[in-house]
Amino acid sequence: MTTRYGRRLWTIVEERKLEGVMAKRMDSPYEPGRRSSSWLKIKALKTVDCVIVGFTSEKRAISALAIGLYFDHELTYIGRVGTGFTEKFLNELRTILDNIVIEEPPVRNVPKHPIIWVRPELVAEIEYLLMTKDGHLRAPSFLRMRTDKDPRDCTSETLAPIKPQSDRS
């Protein structure tokens, strides 16, 4: 019975594009003002394949990747992703990116913060919570490189469906 209601609730989360749900063990007491392992945050995470358009390097070889998607055949900046990497991967990727650095941004709506721009040749799969009103990914995290994907196929139409991800709070 609980599973049926959970599926119905998740359908509503998807339809309304909500961030997720909070769940509590039925047999645990409510403890006001206190964090408890009885509560579970279930995030409505999505994935999308993005074009790597640049990077920043304030604190390590790559602090964050600048990413974009094609909207109406125009490459558009949709934010930066700075989590989900290993140091070894970042050092290897930096060597690759250094060979494709360009002077001019390959995207429209260039951000104000400094970015080292690269030719839009590489694709990365990114997990995120939602797309903000200003067109940036919220809570993005790097998952993997997509060497099998052409950057021109990274369009706004490929924004993926929601997949549940639990996170203890």
Class of domain 45-161: mainly beta
What φ, ψ does residue 14 adopt, rounded to 5°? Answer: -65, -45
Helix (H) / strand (E) containing 92: helix 87-98
Which residues share a beta bridge with 67?
A: 52, 79
Residue 50 pLDDT: 96
**38-47 tens-digit pLDDT:** 787 777 688 8
Is residue 86 exposed (0-12), middle (13-18) or buried (19+ Cβ within 10 Å)? exposed
Give the separation between CA 65 and CA 122, rounded to whole angstroms. Answer: 11
DSSP 103-123: SS-SSBS--SS--EEEEEEEE
Instruction: Pick out the chain residues at pLDDT < 70.
Output: 1-2, 44, 158-169
Model pTM?
A: 0.77
Residue 9 pLDDT: 80
Give the separation between CA 167 and CA 83, rounded to whole angstroms. Answer: 16
Helix (H, G, I), strand (E, B) or coil at 143: strand
Give the separation between CA 120 and CA 98, rounded to whole angstroms. Answer: 13
Residue 28 pLDDT: 83
Q: Go through the chain and tell me how many residues it has.
A: 169
Segments making up each domain of the chain, as ranges: 2-42, 45-161
Helix (H) / strand (E) containing 2: helix 2-15
Residue 152 pLDDT: 95
Residue 34 pLDDT: 80
- Residue at token pair 């003002």: 33
Residue 2 pLDDT: 59
Helix (H, G, I), strand (E, B) or coil at 90: helix
